[in-house]
């Protein structure tokens, strides 16, 4: 199966990011320490030797880690959701950096470079005050980058040989082409993909392979995992091998009924007659109506003997519950060579559990899947888990702008003998440390 890997993501003038910042997933060739070879995927094309399977982004609270993930999510929503957004354009989600006089002194810009269908693509767009002012798509088929299309507001230039799909959506106007059937708030690539444009569909399909979830709550992927446990025996067998580490022998999916949670109220408390009528109809519709809900029960072996006990998943710790539910997305991206981005990955997890999950991904991922996480746990800063080029930091400068940089930039640590980078991180040698360097500093604020 052809690789579909992220090579680079760039963001500018979005949320806490003002000037352009890049997350680069190309494996460095200058890394000298001995590390696990499972951390990279060989490419040997487009001038790229290998690509990182995973990356971890560290930083203090409020540094901008979540904003970086949100930037990638906003770009995905603009590309995939703009055509279905009628009232509020998705481009309005591109909120600029506010701590300056002119919010749009530079456009909000997003760009991704990725491998798909045997080629290297570079797609991006610039937004100003909700309108797309520029949009572009380039590709490398063999060795040289070629422009497929470049949009300037409602005009476009395109490669008539390699991007002929644009022909029926443009109108010649002198020396330029005008875009047709595309609003200023809608990406040109999204419109073309709706009509099965060959290259534009590659772009939108890549974004569909991008999975972004929160590690704080499992609402976004809980039902997905429950469904996999119920319908996919291969996934269940894979997951149970992992869950042995937390003494779970089996998983069963049970179905329960619950009533619709409609709040009872007195009609007298509703002064509007039409509202009274609507509420009465709703109560009539949902009265005595039950809804089926599927949950997970965990099956454990008793303390002595061969007896097994079934318990609701709610009896397990928050960390164990999160582990169980996270296995669904993890398995899915490994099996289908997709990308999983987890914000607040280490929330509710013990350090050893974090290391366990990342180790599972690196060992089981073969074929182009990637894992990108944000986290706080400094115990994960070890070369037994990550190469230096896999470790990233987000920090705010004196102008409150988030800046993104890699541990690979700290050349003085090339020959470091210790396994852990966390000591230097906590000493502030890499920046991106918590807001207060000492307890005394925090105490002074309370006593002021």
The answer for residues whose C-beta is within 8 angstroms of residue 65's C-beta and 6 or more apart is 57, 58, 59, 343, 374, 394
- Between CA 325 and CA 327 the distance in angstroms is 5
pLDDT of residue 9 exceeding 70, the answer is: yes
Task: Confirm if 170 and 178 have CB atoms less than 8 A apart.
Answer: yes
pLDDT of residue 261 exceeding 90, the answer is: no
- pLDDT (tens digit, 9 = 90+) per residue, 386-402? 999 999 999 999 999 99
Task: Confirm if 56 and 375 have CB atoms less than 8 A apart.
Answer: yes
pLDDT of residue 209 exceeding 80, the answer is: yes
User: Which range among 98-102, 249-253, 258-262, 357-361 shows the weakest confidence by mean pLDDT?
Assistant: 258-262
Residues of 358-386 as b/e, b for ≥16 C-beta within 10 angstroms?
A: bebbbeebeebbbbbbbbebbebbbbebb
Q: In which residue ranges of the chain is CATH 3.40.50 found? A: 6-209+360-426
Rg (alpha carbons) of the chain, rounded to whole number: 25
Q: What is the pLDDT of residue 97?
A: 97
pLDDT of residue 33 exceeding 80, the answer is: no
The residue with tokens 């890549």 is 206
**SS3 string of 33-68?**
CCCCHHHEEEEEECCEEEEECEEEEECCCCCCHHHH
Mean pLDDT of the chain: 87
pLDDT band per the 50, 70, 90 thresholds, residue 283: low
Task: Give 83's DSSP letter.
Answer: G
Question: In terms of CATH architecture, what is 6-209+360-426?
Answer: 3-Layer(aba) Sandwich (3.40)
Q: What is the pLDDT of residue 425?
A: 62
What are the beta bridge partners of residue 422? none
pLDDT of residue 442 exceeding 50, the answer is: no
Return the sign of the alpha-carbon dihedral for residues 374, 379, 381, 386.
negative
- pLDDT (tens digit, 9 = 90+) per residue, 294-332? 999 999 987 666 788 899 999 999 999 999 999 999 999
Q: What is the pLDDT of residue 220?
A: 83
Nearest by Cα to 144 from 161, 123, 112, 122: 122
Q: What is the pLDDT of residue 418?
A: 56
Percentage, residues of the chain above pLDDT 90: 66
User: Which range among 6-20, 203-217, 406-420 shows the weakest confidence by mean pLDDT?
Assistant: 406-420
pLDDT band per the 50, 70, 90 thresholds, residue 236: very high
- Between CA 199 and CA 192 the distance in angstroms is 9
Burial class (CB in 10 A: 0-12, 13-18, 19+), 246: middle
């Amino acid at each position: 199966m052809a690789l579909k890997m992220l090579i680079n993501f760039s963001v500018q003038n979005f949320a806490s990011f003002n000037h352009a910042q890049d997350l680069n997933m190309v494996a460095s060739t200058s890394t000298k320490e001995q590390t696990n070879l499972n951390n990279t995927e060989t490419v040997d094309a487009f001038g790229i030797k290998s690509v990182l399977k995973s990356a971890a982004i560290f930083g203090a609270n409020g540094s901008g880690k979540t904003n970086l993930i949100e930037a990638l999510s906003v770009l995905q929503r603009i590309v995939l959701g703009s055509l279905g957004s009628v009232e509020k354009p998705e481009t309005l989600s591109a909120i600029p950096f506010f701590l300056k006089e002119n919010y749009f002194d530079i456009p909000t810009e997003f760009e991704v470079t990725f491998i798909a269908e045997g080629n290297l693509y570079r797609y991006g767009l610039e937004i100003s005050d909700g309108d797309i002012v520029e949009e572009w798509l380039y590709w490398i088929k063999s060795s040289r980058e070629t422009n497929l299309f470049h949009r300037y507001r409602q005009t476009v230039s395109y490669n008539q040989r390699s991007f002929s799909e644009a022909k029926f959506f443009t109108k010649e106007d002198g020396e330029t082409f005008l875009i047709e059937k595309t609003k200023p708030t809608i990406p040109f690539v999204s419109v073309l993909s709706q009509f099965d444009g060959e290259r534009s569909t590659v772009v939108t399909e890549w974004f569909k392979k991008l999975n972004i979830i929160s590690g704080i709550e499992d609402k976004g992927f809980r039902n997905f995992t429950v469904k996999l446990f119920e319908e996919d025996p291969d996934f269940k067998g894979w997951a149970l091998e992992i869950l042995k580490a937390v003494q779970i022998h089996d998983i069963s999916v049970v179905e329960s009924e619950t009533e619709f949670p409609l709040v009872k109220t007195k009609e007298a408390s509703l002064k509007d007659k039409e509202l009274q009528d609507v509420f009465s109809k709703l109560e009539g519709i949902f009265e005595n109506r039950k809804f089926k809900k599927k949950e997970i029960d965990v099956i454990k072996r008793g303390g002595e003997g061969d007896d097994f006990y079934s318990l609701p998943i709610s009896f397990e710790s928050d960390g164990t519950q999160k582990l169980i539910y996270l296995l669904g997305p993890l398995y899915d991206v490994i099996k289908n060579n997709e990308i999983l981005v987890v914000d607040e990955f280490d929330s509710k997890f013990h350090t050893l559990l974090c290391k366990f999950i990342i180790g599972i991904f690196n060992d089981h991922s073969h074929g182009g899947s990637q894992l990108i996480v944000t986290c706080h746990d400094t115990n994960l800063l070890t070369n037994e888990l990550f190469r230096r080029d896999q470790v990233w930091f987000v920090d705010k400068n004196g102008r409150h702008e988030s800046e993104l940089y890699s541990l690979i930039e700290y050349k003085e640590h090339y020959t470091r003998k210790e396994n852990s980078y966390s000591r230097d991180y906590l000493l502030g040698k890499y920046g991106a440390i918590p807001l207060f360097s000492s307890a005394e500093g925090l105490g002074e604020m309370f006593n002021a």
